[in-house]
Amino acid sequence: MKRTHVYTGSPWESIVGYSRAIRVGNTIAVAGTTAMKDGKIVGINDPYEQTKFILQTITYALEEVDANLSHVIRTRMYVTDISNWEAIGKAHGEFFQHIQPVATMVEVQALIDPDLLVEIEVDAIVP
């Protein structure tokens, strides 16, 4: 089966050796995505803004492999402070209100930078 990789230019992609997304057949996996742009954090101290930025990045990655958010079947949200769940959930709902994938949100001790509050990964299937 054909394997298509998506890269967003993050310096971590080449250092760590990963793709933002991979499509194999009709299945797509999008790597854990944070609110980083050009080496800077978007939405410092704002979990809502970070979540919106992350979901916009994920949307781009899906589009690069001929998919869109309607194909998402699962989201996983890793958050550094679970008390931010409402702000994160609000942004998630703005993108997925009508799609309603299965979703998991868990609190983690830390992400790769202390100013990152959220990391999200998704799985999608294109019919």
**Per-residue pLDDT reduced to its tens digit, 75-100:** 999 999 999 999 999 999 999 999 99
pLDDT at residue 11 above 80? no
* Residue 52: domain span: 3-125
Total domain count for the chain? 1
CA distance 13 to 87: 28
Name the nearest CA neighbour of 120 among 28, 9, 30.
Answer: 30
Q: What is the pLDDT of residues 42-85, one digit of tens each?
A: 999 999 999 999 999 999 999 999 999 999 999 999 999 999 99
Give residue for tokens 């298509």.
4
Tokens of 63: 């589009």
The answer to whether residues 96 and 71 touch, using CB atoms and an 8 Å cutoff, is: no
* Domain CATH for 76: 3.30.1330.40
